[in-house]
Each structure stands twice: as C-alpha cells, then as structure tokens.
Amino acid sequence: MAQRVAVVTGGMGGLGEAICIKLSKMGYKVVTTYSPGNTKAKEWLADMKKNGYDCHAAPADVADFDACAKAIKQIEAEVGPIDVLVNNAGITRDMTFKKMGKTDWDAVMHTNLDSVFNMTKPVCDGMVERGWGRIINVSSVNGQKGAFGQTNYSAAKAGMHGFTKALSLEVAKKGVTVNTISPGYIGTKMVMAIPKEVLDSKIIPQIPIGRLGKPEEVAGLVAYLCSDEAAFVTGANIAINGGQHMQ
C-alpha cells in the first residue's frame, strides 16, 4: 500500500505539532500548513528532520479560501493525494460579549470555522473518488459547554461539529469518515501561559482526573481516528477532557 499523506493545519506548535509527530511515527507523509508570515517555518522543519520526523510544510492563510486551494494543489503536486485532513488551526480573541467587536468575532470565525470549509472543500472529492479518507476537526470542550468570555470561540467550535455531522452523512458510503474531537485543557504553551494561580485554583479543580491533558494523548486519539480500525466511527464528537464535561 502506498504511503498515506496527512495534512494538519496549524501544525507548528501545541496540539498540531504533537499530531504531526504521532502521524509521522505511524508512517504517514505529514504536511502542515503555516501562516505565510511565520518566519520560523524552516527552523521547525529542520528540527523535525533532526529528530527523525519526515515532515513537509506549505504556507496558507486558512481563513482564505483561494489560499487554501492553492496550498492543496501544491501539496498534491509535491507530496501526493491527501488521505487525512486534520483541521486543527485556531485562535482566540477572548473577552466578554459586551466588549467584543465585530473584528474580534470575524477573526475567530474566519480562522476557526471558515477554515474547516476552506481546507475540506479542495480535498473531499478526491477522498471520495479514491474510496478512502479521514477528516478530523479539532473542536474544544468550550464548544460543548460554553465558556465565559468566549462567545466567538465557543460558537466557532460548536459549528465545527455541525459541519462534521452533516458532511459525514454525505460521504459515509464512500469510505470517508468525518469526526470531531473536543479536547479540554491540554498542557500546550497557550494553556501554560495562564497564570499558575489561575490554573491551580480555577481550572485544574474542575478536572476530575486532577491534571491537564498531554498533547500526546490527544494525538493518540487523532491517530486512532485516522486508522483503518476506526472505519465505523463517523459523525462522532469524542470528548478528551479528563472528565471535566460529560455528555
């Protein structure tokens, strides 16, 4: 069987990097997208190669449909047809709704939700034609339960799963699965930037397991959903939050 190609958006840090490493270890050809303004892309690729991970990268503003289509064409020409898409890119613009402006709303919706359409549209037909594909949308516990100061983020992350459910119905008989994962608080740089007293007094006490999640644990769930063994899982939203929120 030919080596499968996996594309991970926002793969140069946090969860995305852990997912890239895991899929690379599993033998996938891994490509990450990165913001065109990212000056550390070459350095990241060199680090990955030095550590034994054969990763590739393509510049793309995931909020821009034409830029995504161009990046997908480049990836397919240089690496091969895309078998796995992990829609991981995301940003926050946290503030109360009273203070939130239209630009704060638009920035989060464009990057976190429009990007799912922008990246999935150019790859989905190819997956269907080849009879195999995996699309995994990285949502959040706050898309399930809401969060103070995150009307934009929670709306975008909840919208991802509506997309997942509808698209999964359309492609289910074609060998393509579409799923959402909803991580809780994971020990990424973004979360670790929260003041320790806030983590210790406000966040960790809400997590029954009593700790932050590890990026590698989320990557393991993504790896399962990418596998042949997960062929019967589609349209699902799998929580990975240490028991913080249960449905």
The residues that are catalytic are: 153
83 and 134 in contact (C-beta within 8 Å)? yes
Question: In the chain, what are the helix, strand and coil shares in percent, each to the nearest 5?
Answer: 50, 15, 35
Question: d(Cα 226, Cα 59) in Å, to the nearest integer?
Answer: 23
| Residues across the chain | 247
64 and 118 in contact (C-beta within 8 Å)? yes
Question: d(Cα 112, Cα 62) in Å, to the nearest integer?
Answer: 9
DSSP state of 212: P
Cα angle value 46/48/50 (rounded, 5°): 65
Tokens 């999640």 sit on residue: 213
Q: Which two tokens stand for residue 203?
A: 């966040």
Exposed, middle or buried, 226 (CB in 10 Å: 0-12/13-18/19+)? Answer: buried
Dihedral of CA 1/15/121/171: which sign? positive
Question: d(Cα 102, Cα 69) in Å, to the nearest integer?
Answer: 26
Question: d(Cα 124, Cα 118) in Å, to the nearest integer?
Answer: 11
